A and B are shown apart, each in its own frame.
Chain A
Amino acid sequence: MGELPTKRLGPFLGGVTDAANPLIVEGKMSVRYARNAQLDGVGRLIVRGGTQLALTLKDDQGAPATVTSIVALTPFGDGVLAVAHSTVTSKFYLYWLKDDLTDWYNSSKALQGTLTPAPIGVLWTGVATPSPVLIAEGLNVAYIAHNSPGTTLNTQKLDTTVTPATLTAFQANLDGAGVANTYFRGVVSFQQHLWGWGYGSQTAGDNDRPELARFSTPFFGAMAQADSFVVGHRVRSIRERIVAGVVAGQMLYLGTNFSIWPITGFGRNSWDKSRPIDDSYGFAGVRAACAGPNSYLYYWSHRGPMRVLGYGPPEPLWPRIANTIAGLVNEQNVITVYNQNADQIVWLYQDQSSGRISRLCAYDVLREAFLGPDGDIGLGVNVAAFLQPVYGVAGPGPLGPPITPSTDNIGSTVALAHWVNGDTAADTLSQLEYRTPQGSGAWTVASSTIASGVTSYQLTGLNASTAYEWRLKHVRNGISTTYLGPVAGTQFVTIGQLNPPTNCVLTDVVAYGKITWVNSGESGVSTQVWFGISGQETLVQTVDPGVASYYANWLSGSHLYHAQVRHVRTGSTPSNYASSNSVTH
């Protein structure tokens, strides 16, 4: 056998793609497609990681939480800001989250200790449907713009330099008519100034013009000058408008719906002096572009993924992209994010019919390899963000949830839960909860500190003849797995009392009275032996589980003897007695 030839189908160097839309990366063709797999930093083809719930935003109405969509998520200072919308209340809410998403702040920046953040403010009301929201960060000040045309939803300013933080309308004098509310479709922080586009003062007739305004807003406190002005106003077509502005390196790239303009200065004619570096394909959506490493701008145009450095020209990353893929996305559903862990620019795409999100493609910035579609994340997504804790490193979560549940040693007040650990790391703890009645009771935490490696836990303090269920999860570095249970193996009914032994017989074997019985068969039950003159029996011994006989001493003199036995076990009501025959000795 050793002399017969062999060859290899690996190793898997690159070019991960999709069967339906083949992509060829020259010289890297080992894989036809790979779904839910990724090439890591050293070229290994590995299964991708899973997903896990971090926080669930709730609205200002209390339970039940009616947040129906999250429309912004961005780092802010040493925390994170999120904006969510509720179709129930028709409001947009602003949230202030801890940077590792394990907690949240109130408006005074006090951690609240739960995983269900409440809003610190209401941004806009009376809006039935969500649309993207963009946030620009200053020094402890955030500006929040609603990406829809019109003068209904004004740009907001969150000021955290005061305690509690204040949320107010962002105002400026843009038309010489005095200070008034502003209505931008997007904002970005660039060169220590706030930039806004889709500008409209309340008196402006056209609120969707490709107009750019720069503000010397107090990003840096008293250093700022109050010289807010329009930087430029370019109109090539009435159909052209700014879609998004992204800072990459020293450039602010303004993407319209069919061109991209690099901005380097911050004077009054900065945009007027600019020339488009791509006058055919602009940004395909408000979240279609992001900054990559080394000052590159990565974006999804109407012709697929591209990148540009400095003044260009843009470089198509997927030259032979099928029209079916290029045309998949529209302005609503492509999300671009740089995943620093994998050194990949990732484009996420939300299927409009299924509502699911898929990785449309990714670009490995280290190996300059293009990675094709690779799977469905399993839910619809509006925004993505790479969050980097400032003051601490987010440790890894548990590898997987516990599995294989079972329950035994069920008594009247106790039960023993068993499972197999899904993660055996030394710092992985388990949390076990139980409830009654099954399916509707409130969960009680039995223990949240079950040590790593432990695979059973005794529930105590239960009520007899009652149906219970338990569930268990692993917790590591503040990250929880999904729960194991409630399923059949975690449901049980406590017993009323133990079953009694049977066939209790007292026999005269001259020197002793021999008492025999048949055990009930329940696990772990001991047997109390009561013996003595009939009517005056006393407990003479408690014998170990499994033992079914006992030799008792006669008393002096002649008496009528009687014996009785019953089963006992810690946490269970003793059984009834089983009585023997009477013997005269």
Chain B
Amino acid sequence: MAGFLCVAESAGGRIIRTGVGFTQVGDPYQFDVYTQDDRPLGDDGEAEFRWVTVLLKHSNGYNVIVQPIVDGIPQLVGSFSGGPPPAGTLEEVVRLRVWLMARGNRIAAKVTSVSLLGPLELVDIPYGYVAIRSGL
């Protein structure tokens, strides 16, 4: 990194670096990602969505909530937390699975951190389903 982006305060005398660590001058912030909907069986199909698994890479622990969303309706959330990767490893990809067993046409997922312990990367969000009928 050859340089850094910094901002200067409009209501005070502080000059702030950005992109440093995972805390914030002022209010804390959270990682918050909401995917687009996916329709596995077409525009009019119907499926029994069984599970959603978030693949999350971290290097210093994680504390997140995973919320599947079926046909725009938020489902029960799963809360997940863990410490740093095992000794000798710098990072790990954890699988955070939520069983939802919900019937519908489209599915999305929301991943939100409760507290930021370090770097996070949202690697992928696979999901499983049972086909009920395909779209016309």
Contact = CB atoms under 8 A, between A and B. Distances in A.
Which of B4, B123, B131 is most buried by chain A, counting CB atoms within 10 A of its CB?
B4
A397 interface: yes
A122 B20 CA distance: 32
A357 B121 contact: no
Interface in B16-59: 16-38, 40, 50, 52
A63 interface: no
Nearest to A38: B19
B25 A381 contact: no
Contact of B120 (A46, A381, A399, A482): A46
Contacts of A547: none
Interface of B: 1-38, 40, 50, 52, 60, 107-109, 113, 116-131
Contacts of B6: 54, 73, 101, 384-387
Given A30-B35, A52-B25, A481-B21, A68 B11 contact: yes
Contacts of A68: 11-13
A341 B20 contact: no
Contact of A35 (B7, B32, B126): B32
A426 interface: no
Contacts of B129: 4-7
A342 to B, nearest CB: 8
Contacts of B118: 399-400
A58 B13 contact: yes
A401 B60 CA distance: 12
Given A30-B36, A31-B36, A53-B25, A69 B19 contact: no
Given A45-B122, A383-B7, A399-B22, A56 B14 contact: yes
A474 to B, nearest CB: 9
Interface stretch (A160-168, A244-252, A322-330, A388-396): A388-396
Nearest to A339: B5
24 contacts: A5-B40, A8-B127, A9-B52, A9-B126, A44-B121, A45-B121, A46-B120, A47-B31, A49-B18, A49-B20, A51-B23, A52-B16, A54-B15, A57-B13, A69-B11, A70-B15, A375-B32, A381-B16, A383-B7, A386-B4, A388-B2, A398-B21, A400-B60, A479-B20
**Interface centre among B25, B33, B117, by most A CB within 10 Å?**
B33
Contacts of B52: 9
Contacts of B13: 56-58, 65, 67-70, 84
A37 B15 CA distance: 23
Chain A to chain B: the 10 pairs with minimum beta-carbon distance, closest first:
A378-B26, A67-B13, A388-B3, A49-B19, A70-B8, A57-B13, A9-B125, A380-B10, A10-B124, A382-B10
A402 to B, nearest CB: 11
A375 B18 CA distance: 13
A82 B8 contact: yes
Which range holds the interface residue count of chain A?
35 or more
A527 B118 CA distance: 46
A51 B50 CA distance: 40
A20 B123 CA distance: 25
A213 interface: no
Interface of A: 1, 4-12, 19, 29-37, 44-58, 65, 67-70, 73, 82, 84, 97, 100-101, 335, 337, 339-342, 346, 348, 350, 355, 357, 375-389, 393-394, 396-401, 479, 481-482
Nearest to A398: B21
Contacts of A401: 21, 23
Nearest to A393: B2
A30 B111 CA distance: 14
Given A32-B34, A379-B25, 7 more contacts: A6-B129, A45-B121, A50-B116, A57-B14, A69-B9, A355-B10, A378-B25
A386 B8 CA distance: 11
Contact of A50 (B14, B24, B130): B24
Contacts of B10: 69-70, 350, 355, 380-382
B8 A381 contact: yes
Contact of B11 (A7, A49, A380, A383): A380
Contacts of A6: 126-129
Contact of B50 (A4, A32, A57): A4
A384 B5 contact: yes
A34 B34 contact: yes
Given A382-B8, A387-B3, A50 B23 contact: yes
Given A6-B126, A388-B3, A393-B1, A355 B11 contact: yes
A423 B25 CA distance: 18
A348 to B, nearest CB: 7
B14 A394 contact: no
A9 B35 contact: yes
A32 B37 CA distance: 8
Given A8-B126, A396-B1, A377 B18 contact: yes
A49 B21 contact: yes
Q: Which of A48, A401, A482 has the most CB of B within 10 A?
A: A48
A10 B127 CA distance: 10
B126 A377 contact: no
Given A51-B25, A378-B29, A33 B34 contact: yes
A82 B20 contact: no
Contacts of A341: 1-5, 19
A184 B121 CA distance: 48
Nearest to A83: B8
A37 B123 CA distance: 13
Contacts of B127: 6-9
Contact of A376 (B5, B22, B27, B113): B27
Contacts of A54: 6, 14-17
Given A49-B21, A51-B16, A51-B18, A7 B38 contact: yes
Q: Which of A65, A387, A398, A400 has the most CB of B within 10 A?
A: A400
